Amino acid sequence: MVLPQGLSAVQVKVSLPIPAATAHIAEGFDNSTLYGPSDFGLKVLTPVAQDTLMGLGISLFRARVVDGEGVASKYNGVLEATMFKLGVEYLGIELFTDYQLVLELTVDFPTGGPGRVEDANGDEVSSATSVSGSGYYASTAIRWGHLEGGFLKKQSLELRRNDDSGKRSEQRNFPQLHQLRNCPFLPFLMSKVLVDHLYHHHLELLQQESQGQFDFFPVDFRTQDSRIENHLPEALAIIGRVDPSEAQYQSAKELALIQTLSAGFEEVDLERAQRFSVQVANNNGANAVSVAEHVLLQILSLFRQLLFHHQSVSQGPWENRKMRNREISGKTLGLIGLGQIGKMVAKYAVSLGMNVQYFDVVRQQTSEQELGLDYVFPETLLRTSDVVSYHVPITSYNRGIINRNSISMMKPDAVLINSARGELQNEEDLHLALVQGIISGAALDVFQQEPIAEDSPLRKLENVILTPHSAPSRESYPRAVRHAVANLFRLQNNEPLLGLALDHEVRARTFQNQHPEVDLMIPNE
């Protein structure tokens, strides 16, 4: 059924289905019969989207059921939510298929006098109301005018049955809601995905990329947002760099994924997420090209003295004879960290004739062979590199690693690049090193505090390039969104996720235990 745009409608329909359409009521009991098609249904159709209808109705049936508790007449109520219709019409005759979500209720009806339900021996049994089944129906029917008849009905029901002791027991083997929503007979059920404040401006793009298959709800985990409490129990995933509390994890029964659109995920407590069987994933290198290009721009700008030459033209005096420029070809680039961004930086640098060496707590010999990289420990890298560029997540082993001691190991004409995390650097030590000429220059895209303080002494230096955490580009965000949506579909299809977060703290600890002679922290003396 399709509604014209903007049309609201409520339709009430009374129908008398043929007996075959109600035969499912008795299924699941040992020996059952029905009292004919004394059946009525009331459906109220109301728009739930711009061009779809949802039907909600209830049908009552009187049945004689024989099971382990005896003989009784029962009223069976079926609450049906018709969520999806597919059909064709020709010359007023419509052939269609309904997909219905069903909740079946059973009410015992007295057979031995008012208020009394008897078993086969005439003994009284207790009267009860219970849920006898739930699941979905897929029915095919033909309609002509006001006449309607069903001739094919498929179902998947969970019914109360008798166990070996003769007692009534409820069979429970329901899949998680996000798995049920992926059932081919329930294409209309959309999984909830919460989107934290950092990514609210991507909501429209998320909807477009998911083609309406998920419901995205903007929330703000920084505040006491009531929408979190309302939606979290049914949320399949959270898109954001958030760390749910213990109580929030306990209420999030369906939560299976925390997905970031960035490379970093250090805000998330991975151990706690693992305890609640929640996976954590990053953008799987969606911004690797953008950040790598930015790093090469920073290196070239420092080596070619781009800011100095710009000012000599824009502000004067004209200076083109001081020959302050340097080539990067033949120079040595040292990478601290060889993730997806580090690898892309290495690829670009090699293509420009640079020699590249790296350190990572996990050695990557395949990349060494493919790109011609050398693996060295941190102190060797710092002492022998013309450019030192950082590409690591924050751990307890590297917080504040850019400090007086590590900078003093570098060559006097070397430059330092940090496009990873501001927490890696001690900005007071870095400022002092730049003023005293311990290194020749630096380029920073990240800071301990963002935005950087107006009175930061780094802003006054001529041998430092500062950018406002702007290494990602307009092309990288759609890639990150597409990756996030792809992971949502992978989750629904029970496929392995991409970009799963690695516990860098554990990896660093493992390396330190294996190489106690290597000082990862390089602390200030």
- Maximum distance among all alpha carbons in the chain? 114
The Cα 146–Cα 292 span in angstroms is 67
Is 201 catalytic? The answer is no
The Cα 374–Cα 381 span in angstroms is 10
- Asked if residue 323 lies in contact with residue 309, where contact means CB atoms within 8 angstroms, the answer is no
Tokens, residue 435: 């003023």
The amino acid present at 74, given as its one-letter code, is K
Is 69 catalytic? The answer is no
The Cα 25–Cα 33 span in angstroms is 9
The amino acid present at 291, given as its one-letter code, is V
Is 246 catalytic? The answer is no
Q: Name the strands in the sheet holding 387-390, side by side, starting at the edge strand that comes first in the sequence.
A: 374-375, 355-359, 332-336, 387-390, 415-418, 441-444, 464-466
The Cα 392–Cα 439 span in angstroms is 21
Q: Which of 24, 181, 421, 504 is catalytic?
A: 421
Q: Which of 267, 450, 462, 495 is catalytic?
A: 450
b (16+ CB within 10 A) / e for 10-47: eeeeebebeeebbebbbebbeebebeeeebebebebeb
Residue 204 backbone phi and psi in degrees, to 5: -65, -40
Q: Which of 469, 482, 490, 509 is catalytic?
A: 469
Catalytic residue IDs: 421, 450, 469
